[in-house]
Amino acid sequence: MEKAELLYEGKAKKMFATEDKQVIWVEYLDQATALNGVMKDQIQGKGELNNQITSRIFQYLTKKGIDNHFIDILSKTEQLVKKVEVIPLEVVVRNFAAGSFSKRLAVPEGTLLPEPIIEFYYKDDSLDDPFINEAHIAFLELATPAEIQEIKLIALQVNEALQELFAGIGLQLIDFKLEFGRLADGKILLADEISPDTCRLWDSDSHEHMDKDVYRRKIGNLVPVYQEVLARLNNYSF
């Protein structure tokens, strides 16, 4: 497979075309951003860590029967994925209160939620990714009600599978963000990335942050933390 023209350069990845219209070549970048780009830094080694972590997690989900866009890892920083038409939604699943949920609702971080809570954010940087509900999604025609039902079902399946995986490597899955897209035949498929950039992971014993909050909150160095997450994932057999 050959890498062809650059289709899109985002904050964390570059997406390239390939000779197969249904396949894209993803390159993970050494860039960290937060607060919709207000914080932006080059962090050497971040791209290869997230590429390897995401690949391992998607391989695990495939094994668990959860279909997703991942095809193959190509190099330390590159992977091949099935091309989808991205649905511009950030689908957040929360098991414990943290981050914007804690702030908005004045619930202390770390409070266990009786049931997982799914939230939708409209993926639009110019609007700062606003929090929206299913009526807004229907009004904006981002997805049909049936697609939203499917997305919620898959998001909860991913949550079950990831909670088991992370518990097995001594991490609590506090919350995470997923993205979905449509294949050419309209099938909804889990896409994008699952890494410490997109999940909140707390060490089960020490409750230390093992995710992008070390960068967002300036409480430590990102690289050794992500290295530890990858090492634990690589030691976990599935």
Which positions touch ligand ADP (CB under 6 A)?
8, 10-13, 15, 24, 69, 81-84, 86, 179, 181, 191-192
Q: For the chain, list the strands marked E by DSSP.
A: 6-9, 13-17, 23-28, 31-34, 39-42, 70-73, 78-82, 85-86, 89-96, 112-122, 131-132, 171-182, 188-191, 199-203
- Name 3's Cβ contacts closer than 8 Å, sequence gap at least 6: 16, 18, 25
Spatial distance between the Cα atoms of 72 and 16, rounded to a whole number of angstroms: 15
Q: Does 129 bind ligand UDP (CB under 6 A)?
A: yes
Cβ nearer to ligand ADP, comparing 16 with 60:
16
* Binding partner of 199, given ligand UDP, ligand ADP, none, CB within 5-8 angstroms per partner class: ligand UDP
Q: How far apart are the first and last CA of the chain?
A: 28
Residue 237 sits at φ, ψ, to 5 deg, of: -95, 140
Q: Which stretch binds ligand UDP (CB under 6 A): 60-68, 155-163, 195-203, 222-230?
A: 195-203
Report yes or no: 94 and 174 within 8 Å, Cβ to Cβ.
yes
Report, in Å, the least distance between residue 121 CB and ligand ADP: 11
Cβ nearer to ligand UDP, comparing 26 with 92:
92
From residue 165 to residue 184, the character string flagging contacts with ligand UDP as x (rule: CB under 6 A) and all else as - is ----------xxx-------
Q: Does 199 bind ligand UDP (CB under 6 A)?
A: yes
Q: Does 56 bind ligand UDP (CB under 6 A)?
A: no
Binding site for ligand UDP (CB under 6 A): 90, 92, 98-101, 129, 175-177, 198-200, 212
